[in-house]
Amino acid sequence: MSSPSSIELSHPPTPESDNECAKLSKPTVDRITALPDAILGHVLSFLPIEDAIKTQVLSKRWLHIWTYSTSLEFLSDSDSSEKTVGDFVSFVDKTIVLCNCSKLKKFGVEFRYDSDYASNVNLWTRFATGKGTEELQLDFDLCDLFESDSYVLPQLLYTNSSFKTLKFSACQVLPKGVVCWNSLKKLTIGYAKLSEDVIQKILAGSPVLEILELYYFYGFNHLHVSSASVKKLILRDVWDDDDDDDGDDDDDGDDYDDDGGGGHHSMLEISAPHLHSLEISGSLGDKICRLGDVSSLIDANISFHMKSRYYSDDYERHPNMLRGLLQSLIPVKNITLGNWALQVGLLIILCLCFQFDVLHNLTEY
Protein backbone atom coordinates (compact mmCIF):
# COMPACT_ATOMS: atom_id res chain seq x y z
CA MET A 1 0.00 0.00 0.00
CA SER A 2 1.54 3.26 -1.03
CA SER A 3 2.00 6.01 1.51
CA PRO A 4 -0.08 9.13 1.01
CA SER A 5 1.69 11.97 -0.73
CA SER A 6 2.76 14.89 1.51
CA ILE A 7 1.02 18.23 1.08
CA GLU A 8 2.72 21.56 1.84
CA LEU A 9 0.47 24.24 3.23
CA SER A 10 1.32 27.92 2.80
CA HIS A 11 -0.42 31.05 4.01
CA PRO A 12 -1.50 33.58 1.44
CA PRO A 13 0.60 36.75 1.43
CA THR A 14 -0.65 39.57 3.58
CA PRO A 15 -0.27 43.34 3.05
CA GLU A 16 2.04 43.52 6.07
CA SER A 17 4.46 40.96 4.63
CA ASP A 18 4.47 42.79 1.32
CA ASN A 19 5.50 46.00 3.10
CA GLU A 20 8.31 44.24 4.93
CA CYS A 21 9.67 42.81 1.69
CA ALA A 22 9.49 46.22 0.11
CA LYS A 23 11.50 47.71 2.98
CA LEU A 24 14.17 45.04 2.65
CA SER A 25 14.50 45.50 -1.09
CA LYS A 26 14.50 49.30 -0.98
CA PRO A 27 18.04 50.75 -1.16
CA THR A 28 19.22 52.51 2.00
CA VAL A 29 19.66 56.28 1.93
CA ASP A 30 22.99 57.81 3.05
CA ARG A 31 21.54 60.52 5.24
CA ILE A 32 24.98 61.93 6.13
CA THR A 33 25.99 62.46 2.53
CA ALA A 34 22.60 64.04 1.88
CA LEU A 35 23.38 66.89 4.28
CA PRO A 36 24.35 70.30 2.83
CA ASP A 37 28.01 71.04 2.23
CA ALA A 38 28.09 73.72 4.93
CA ILE A 39 26.87 71.30 7.62
CA LEU A 40 29.27 68.56 6.58
CA GLY A 41 32.09 71.09 6.59
CA HIS A 42 31.16 72.07 10.13
CA VAL A 43 31.28 68.42 11.18
CA LEU A 44 34.74 68.01 9.62
CA SER A 45 35.94 71.10 11.50
CA PHE A 46 36.17 68.93 14.62
CA LEU A 47 38.89 66.83 12.94
CA PRO A 48 42.54 67.77 12.43
CA ILE A 49 42.80 69.37 9.02
CA GLU A 50 44.97 66.53 7.70
CA ASP A 51 42.26 64.01 8.59
CA ALA A 52 39.52 66.21 7.19
CA ILE A 53 41.32 66.35 3.84
CA LYS A 54 41.56 62.55 3.75
CA THR A 55 37.75 62.29 3.54
CA GLN A 56 37.94 63.33 -0.12
CA VAL A 57 38.70 59.70 -1.04
CA LEU A 58 35.29 58.51 0.19
CA SER A 59 33.41 59.45 -2.97
CA LYS A 60 32.97 62.19 -5.53
CA ARG A 61 30.44 63.80 -3.23
CA TRP A 62 33.13 64.14 -0.55
CA LEU A 63 35.85 65.38 -2.86
CA HIS A 64 35.48 69.03 -1.84
CA ILE A 65 33.50 68.79 1.41
CA TRP A 66 36.57 69.44 3.59
CA THR A 67 37.00 72.84 1.95
CA TYR A 68 33.87 73.99 3.84
CA SER A 69 35.44 73.24 7.24
CA THR A 70 34.95 76.18 9.61
CA SER A 71 38.07 75.42 11.66
CA LEU A 72 41.60 75.28 10.29
CA GLU A 73 44.39 74.35 12.69
CA PHE A 74 47.89 73.66 11.40
CA LEU A 75 50.36 72.11 13.82
CA SER A 76 54.00 71.38 13.06
CA ASP A 77 56.49 69.52 15.23
CA SER A 78 58.86 72.00 16.89
CA ASP A 79 61.76 69.62 16.18
CA SER A 80 61.07 69.56 12.46
CA SER A 81 63.95 70.01 10.04
CA GLU A 82 64.22 73.07 7.82
CA LYS A 83 62.89 71.11 4.85
CA THR A 84 59.96 69.79 6.86
CA VAL A 85 59.09 73.32 8.01
CA GLY A 86 59.19 74.48 4.39
CA ASP A 87 56.85 71.67 3.39
CA PHE A 88 54.53 72.64 6.24
CA VAL A 89 54.41 76.26 5.09
CA SER A 90 53.62 75.15 1.54
CA PHE A 91 50.86 72.89 2.85
CA VAL A 92 49.22 75.80 4.68
CA ASP A 93 49.52 78.02 1.59
CA LYS A 94 47.83 75.45 -0.64
CA THR A 95 45.13 74.59 1.86
CA ILE A 96 43.83 78.11 2.48
CA VAL A 97 43.57 78.73 -1.27
CA LEU A 98 41.09 75.85 -1.52
CA CYS A 99 38.98 76.97 1.46
CA ASN A 100 35.35 77.60 0.43
CA CYS A 101 33.68 78.42 3.74
CA SER A 102 32.29 81.94 4.03
CA LYS A 103 33.27 82.41 7.69
CA LEU A 104 35.85 80.73 9.92
CA LYS A 105 35.29 79.88 13.57
CA LYS A 106 38.96 79.23 14.20
CA PHE A 107 42.28 79.61 12.42
CA GLY A 108 45.48 78.54 14.13
CA VAL A 109 49.09 77.94 13.16
CA GLU A 110 51.83 76.50 15.33
CA PHE A 111 55.30 76.03 13.86
CA ARG A 112 58.96 77.00 14.12
CA TYR A 113 58.93 80.50 12.69
CA ASP A 114 61.70 82.02 10.63
CA SER A 115 61.78 85.51 9.12
CA ASP A 116 62.00 83.89 5.67
CA TYR A 117 58.34 82.93 6.11
CA ALA A 118 57.09 86.41 7.05
CA SER A 119 55.34 86.90 3.70
CA ASN A 120 53.62 83.53 4.07
CA VAL A 121 52.34 84.38 7.54
CA ASN A 122 51.15 87.75 6.25
CA LEU A 123 49.13 85.86 3.65
CA TRP A 124 47.62 83.65 6.36
CA THR A 125 46.61 86.63 8.52
CA ARG A 126 44.99 88.36 5.54
CA PHE A 127 43.10 85.16 4.82
CA ALA A 128 41.96 84.87 8.45
CA THR A 129 40.72 88.46 8.64
CA GLY A 130 39.00 88.16 5.27
CA LYS A 131 37.08 85.10 6.49
CA GLY A 132 35.83 86.90 9.61
CA THR A 133 37.69 84.50 11.89
CA GLU A 134 36.45 84.47 15.48
CA GLU A 135 39.44 82.72 17.07
CA LEU A 136 42.97 83.35 15.81
CA GLN A 137 46.10 81.64 17.16
CA LEU A 138 49.62 82.41 15.99
CA ASP A 139 51.80 80.18 18.16
CA PHE A 140 55.40 80.39 17.00
CA ASP A 141 58.57 78.73 18.23
CA LEU A 142 61.87 80.56 17.99
CA CYS A 143 65.41 79.46 18.72
CA ASP A 144 66.14 82.95 20.09
CA LEU A 145 62.91 83.97 21.76
CA PHE A 146 63.52 87.70 21.60
CA GLU A 147 65.48 88.17 18.40
CA SER A 148 64.64 91.24 16.35
CA ASP A 149 63.39 89.27 13.36
CA SER A 150 60.48 87.65 15.23
CA TYR A 151 57.15 88.04 13.48
CA VAL A 152 55.65 91.52 13.59
CA LEU A 153 51.86 91.43 13.70
CA PRO A 154 50.48 93.34 10.69
CA GLN A 155 48.45 96.44 11.45
CA LEU A 156 45.33 95.02 9.79
CA LEU A 157 44.97 92.61 12.72
CA TYR A 158 44.41 95.47 15.16
CA THR A 159 41.29 96.75 13.44
CA ASN A 160 39.20 93.61 13.11
CA SER A 161 35.96 93.42 15.06
CA SER A 162 35.27 89.76 14.30
CA PHE A 163 37.90 88.42 16.71
CA LYS A 164 36.53 86.92 19.93
CA THR A 165 39.67 85.03 21.02
CA LEU A 166 43.28 85.88 20.19
CA LYS A 167 46.51 84.13 21.07
CA PHE A 168 49.93 85.39 20.00
CA SER A 169 53.16 83.63 20.98
CA ALA A 170 56.62 84.92 20.05
CA CYS A 171 55.17 87.81 18.05
CA GLN A 172 55.92 91.53 18.20
CA VAL A 173 52.77 93.33 19.36
CA LEU A 174 53.23 96.92 18.19
CA PRO A 175 49.97 98.66 17.19
CA LYS A 176 50.76 101.98 15.51
CA GLY A 177 47.21 103.30 15.46
CA VAL A 178 44.09 102.65 17.48
CA VAL A 179 43.12 99.10 18.38
CA CYS A 180 39.60 98.05 17.40
CA TRP A 181 38.81 94.65 18.90
CA ASN A 182 35.18 95.35 19.68
CA SER A 183 34.18 91.67 20.03
CA LEU A 184 37.29 90.34 21.77
CA LYS A 185 36.56 88.32 24.94
CA LYS A 186 39.93 86.64 25.61
CA LEU A 187 43.46 87.76 24.80
CA THR A 188 46.59 85.66 25.38
CA ILE A 189 50.10 86.95 24.65
CA GLY A 190 53.30 85.05 25.37
CA TYR A 191 57.03 85.32 24.78
CA ALA A 192 56.73 89.02 24.04
CA LYS A 193 58.00 92.41 25.11
CA LEU A 194 55.08 94.62 26.05
CA SER A 195 55.19 98.28 27.03
CA GLU A 196 52.69 99.94 29.34
CA ASP A 197 51.51 102.13 26.44
CA VAL A 198 50.79 99.09 24.25
CA ILE A 199 48.83 97.38 27.02
CA GLN A 200 46.73 100.49 27.66
CA LYS A 201 46.08 100.88 23.93
CA ILE A 202 44.91 97.26 23.74
CA LEU A 203 42.65 97.61 26.78
CA ALA A 204 41.14 100.83 25.44
CA GLY A 205 40.34 99.13 22.12
CA SER A 206 38.83 95.98 23.67
CA PRO A 207 35.61 97.17 25.36
CA VAL A 208 34.23 93.67 26.11
CA LEU A 209 37.49 91.90 27.01
CA GLU A 210 36.92 89.52 29.93
CA ILE A 211 40.15 87.49 30.22
CA LEU A 212 43.71 88.77 29.82
CA GLU A 213 46.52 86.21 29.96
CA LEU A 214 50.22 87.02 29.72
CA TYR A 215 53.07 84.51 29.93
CA TYR A 216 56.82 84.87 29.51
CA PHE A 217 56.44 88.62 29.12
CA TYR A 218 58.67 91.56 29.96
CA GLY A 219 59.06 95.27 29.25
CA PHE A 220 56.85 96.90 31.90
CA ASN A 221 56.73 97.30 35.66
CA HIS A 222 53.19 98.56 36.17
CA LEU A 223 50.03 96.84 34.98
CA HIS A 224 46.95 98.99 35.47
CA VAL A 225 43.70 97.41 34.28
CA SER A 226 40.96 100.00 34.64
CA SER A 227 38.53 98.32 32.26
CA ALA A 228 35.34 97.25 34.03
CA SER A 229 34.87 94.33 31.60
CA VAL A 230 38.14 92.53 32.46
CA LYS A 231 37.27 90.04 35.20
CA LYS A 232 40.18 87.58 35.04
CA LEU A 233 43.91 88.26 34.86
CA ILE A 234 46.47 85.45 34.43
CA LEU A 235 50.20 86.13 34.70
CA ARG A 236 52.47 83.14 34.16
CA ASP A 237 56.26 83.00 34.16
CA VAL A 238 57.25 86.63 34.23
CA TRP A 239 60.42 87.19 32.22
CA ASP A 240 62.98 88.90 34.42
CA ASP A 241 64.56 91.44 32.08
CA ASP A 242 67.11 92.98 34.43
CA ASP A 243 69.94 91.77 32.22
CA ASP A 244 68.08 92.61 28.99
CA ASP A 245 67.20 96.23 29.74
CA ASP A 246 68.04 98.21 26.62
CA GLY A 247 67.35 101.59 28.14
CA ASP A 248 64.13 102.18 26.25
CA ASP A 249 61.92 102.07 29.32
CA ASP A 250 61.76 104.80 31.89
CA ASP A 251 63.09 103.10 35.00
CA ASP A 252 62.94 106.11 37.32
CA GLY A 253 61.20 104.96 40.45
CA ASP A 254 60.66 101.48 39.10
CA ASP A 255 63.44 99.85 41.13
CA TYR A 256 62.52 98.56 44.54
CA ASP A 257 65.01 98.79 47.40
CA ASP A 258 63.98 96.64 50.36
CA ASP A 259 66.35 97.81 53.01
CA GLY A 260 68.24 100.75 51.54
CA GLY A 261 71.38 98.67 51.44
CA GLY A 262 71.84 98.71 47.69
CA GLY A 263 69.72 95.67 46.87
CA HIS A 264 67.83 97.03 43.88
CA HIS A 265 65.25 94.77 42.28
CA SER A 266 62.76 95.36 39.47
CA MET A 267 59.11 95.56 40.42
CA LEU A 268 55.78 94.39 39.08
CA GLU A 269 52.86 96.38 40.43
CA ILE A 270 49.33 95.31 39.59
CA SER A 271 46.22 97.43 39.93
CA ALA A 272 42.82 96.26 38.71
CA PRO A 273 39.84 97.63 40.68
CA HIS A 274 37.20 95.64 38.76
CA LEU A 275 39.03 92.30 38.66
CA HIS A 276 37.32 89.20 40.09
CA SER A 277 40.03 86.58 39.55
CA LEU A 278 43.82 86.90 39.68
CA GLU A 279 46.42 84.19 39.03
CA ILE A 280 50.16 84.73 39.37
CA SER A 281 51.95 81.45 38.72
CA GLY A 282 55.22 80.05 37.40
CA SER A 283 58.46 81.94 37.89
CA LEU A 284 58.41 85.55 39.01
CA GLY A 285 62.13 85.79 38.41
CA ASP A 286 63.66 88.34 40.74
CA LYS A 287 60.79 90.83 40.57
CA ILE A 288 59.10 92.27 43.62
CA CYS A 289 55.35 91.97 43.17
CA ARG A 290 52.92 94.47 44.67
CA LEU A 291 49.17 94.75 44.52
CA GLY A 292 47.45 98.10 44.23
CA ASP A 293 43.68 98.48 44.04
CA VAL A 294 42.15 95.00 43.72
CA SER A 295 39.06 95.87 45.73
CA SER A 296 36.67 93.67 43.67
CA LEU A 297 38.84 90.55 43.82
CA ILE A 298 37.07 87.30 44.77
CA ASP A 299 39.62 84.58 43.85
CA ALA A 300 43.40 84.88 44.06
CA ASN A 301 45.92 82.20 43.07
CA ILE A 302 49.39 83.08 44.34
CA SER A 303 51.31 79.98 43.29
CA PHE A 304 54.42 81.58 41.81
CA HIS A 305 57.99 80.98 42.90
CA MET A 306 60.97 83.31 42.92
CA LYS A 307 64.51 82.95 41.74
CA SER A 308 67.13 83.03 44.46
CA ARG A 309 70.41 84.71 43.55
CA TYR A 310 71.88 84.34 47.03
CA TYR A 311 71.62 88.06 47.75
CA SER A 312 72.21 88.93 51.38
CA ASP A 313 68.72 90.39 51.64
CA ASP A 314 66.80 87.44 50.13
CA TYR A 315 65.78 86.10 53.52
CA GLU A 316 64.12 89.45 54.30
CA ARG A 317 63.07 90.57 50.84
CA HIS A 318 61.00 87.52 49.91
CA PRO A 319 59.02 87.28 53.17
CA ASN A 320 58.45 91.05 53.15
CA MET A 321 57.03 90.89 49.67
CA LEU A 322 54.82 87.95 50.57
CA ARG A 323 53.55 89.75 53.65
CA GLY A 324 52.60 92.75 51.54
CA LEU A 325 50.74 90.58 49.03
CA LEU A 326 48.80 88.72 51.70
CA GLN A 327 47.83 91.92 53.47
CA SER A 328 46.41 93.20 50.17
CA LEU A 329 44.43 89.96 49.80
CA ILE A 330 42.88 89.85 53.26
CA PRO A 331 39.38 90.83 51.99
CA VAL A 332 39.52 88.22 49.20
CA LYS A 333 37.09 85.32 49.59
CA ASN A 334 39.25 82.51 48.13
CA ILE A 335 43.06 82.48 48.26
CA THR A 336 45.26 79.71 46.83
CA LEU A 337 48.90 79.58 47.87
CA GLY A 338 51.69 77.59 46.24
CA ASN A 339 54.53 75.66 47.81
CA TRP A 340 56.98 78.56 47.59
CA ALA A 341 54.71 80.84 49.62
CA LEU A 342 54.26 78.16 52.26
CA GLN A 343 58.00 77.50 52.50
CA VAL A 344 59.02 81.14 52.64
CA GLY A 345 56.29 82.63 54.78
CA LEU A 346 54.47 79.97 56.76
CA LEU A 347 54.77 81.96 60.01
CA ILE A 348 53.59 85.11 58.25
CA ILE A 349 50.61 83.26 56.82
CA LEU A 350 49.62 81.82 60.20
CA CYS A 351 49.96 85.19 61.94
CA LEU A 352 47.80 86.95 59.37
CA CYS A 353 45.25 84.14 59.44
CA PHE A 354 44.75 84.39 63.20
CA GLN A 355 45.00 88.15 63.24
CA PHE A 356 42.35 88.71 60.56
CA ASP A 357 40.48 85.38 60.81
CA VAL A 358 41.03 84.44 57.15
CA LEU A 359 42.17 80.85 57.65
CA HIS A 360 39.00 79.53 56.00
CA ASN A 361 39.86 81.44 52.83
CA LEU A 362 43.15 79.63 52.16
CA THR A 363 43.78 76.68 49.87
CA GLU A 364 47.10 74.94 49.22
CA TYR A 365 47.98 74.70 45.52
Burial of 182 (0-12, 13-18, 19+ CB in 10 A): middle
Across the range 269-283, mean pLDDT stands at 96
**What confidence category does residue 147 fall into, taking pLDDT thresholds of 50, 70 and 90?**
low
Task: Write out the residue range of the structural domain in which residue 105 sits.
Answer: 73-241+265-357
| Calpha distance 313→307 (Å, rounded) | 13
| Residue 215 pLDDT exceeds 60 | yes
For residue 291, the cross-strand partners are: 270
Asked if residues 191 and 216 have their Cβ atoms less than 8 Å apart, the reply is: yes
Q: Are residues 172 and 42 in the same domain?
A: no
Across the range 100-116, mean pLDDT stands at 92
| Residue 249 pLDDT exceeds 50 | no
Q: Are residues 190 and 135 in the same domain?
A: yes
**Phi then psi for 139, rounded to 5 degrees?**
-115, 100
| Residue 263 pLDDT exceeds 60 | no
What's the pTM? 0.81
Q: Are residues 108 and 39 in the same domain?
A: no
Q: Are residues 65 and 77 in the same domain?
A: no
Please state at what angle helix 118-130 crosses helix 82-97, rounded to 10 degrees: 30
Q: Are residues 50 and 147 in the same domain?
A: no
Q: Are residues 65 and 135 in the same domain?
A: no
Q: Are residues 278 and 152 in the same domain?
A: yes
Q: Are residues 156 and 80 in the same domain?
A: yes
- 122-144 pLDDT tens trace: 999 999 999 999 999 999 987 65
Domain closes at, from 69, 85, 120: 69
Better-predicted residue by pLDDT, 89 or 316: 89
- 9-26 pLDDT tens trace: 445 556 555 555 555 555
Better-predicted residue by pLDDT, 84 or 157: 157
Q: Are residues 148 and 55 in the same domain?
A: no
Helices and strands in the chain: count of H runs, count of E runs: 8, 17
Q: What is the pLDDT of residue 60?
A: 78
Domain closes at, from 69, 96, 115: 69
Q: What is the pLDDT of residue 362?
A: 53
Q: What percent of the chain has pLDDT over 70?
A: 73
Query: Is there a domain that residue 125 lies in?
Result: yes
Q: Are residues 96 and 43 in the same domain?
A: no
Q: Are residues 58 and 176 in the same domain?
A: no
**What confidence category does residue 259 fall into, taking pLDDT thresholds of 50, 70 and 90?**
very low
The CATH number of residue 319's host domain is 3.80.10
Query: Is there a domain that residue 27 lies in?
Result: no
| Residue 355 pLDDT exceeds 70 | no
| Residue 50 pLDDT exceeds 90 | no
Query: Is there a domain that residue 248 lies in?
Result: no
| Calpha distance 115→111 (Å, rounded) | 12
Across 58-72, 195-209, 261-275, the highest mean pLDDT is recorded for 195-209
Query: Is there a domain that residue 333 lies in?
Result: yes
Q: What is the pLDDT of residue 330?
A: 85
Query: Is there a domain that residue 7 lies in?
Result: no
Q: What percent of the chain has pLDDT over 90?
A: 48
| Residue 282 pLDDT exceeds 90 | yes
Question: Count of residues for the chain?
Answer: 365
Query: Is there a domain that residue 317 lies in?
Result: yes
Query: Is there a domain that residue 184 lies in?
Result: yes
| Calpha distance 141→191 (Å, rounded) | 9
Query: Is there a domain that residue 18 lies in?
Result: no
Domain closes at, from 11, 44, 69: 69
Q: What is the pLDDT of residue 152?
A: 95
Asked if residues 336 and 348 have their Cβ atoms less than 8 Å apart, the reply is: no
Q: What is the pLDDT of residue 324?
A: 87
When divided into structural domains, the chain yields a total of: 2
In the chain, helix, strand, coil percent, each to 5?
35, 25, 45
Distances (CA, A) of 10 to 7, 13, 182, 231, 239: 10, 9, 77, 79, 89
CA torsion through residues 48, 114, 166, 122, sign: negative
Q: Are residues 65 and 99 in the same domain?
A: no
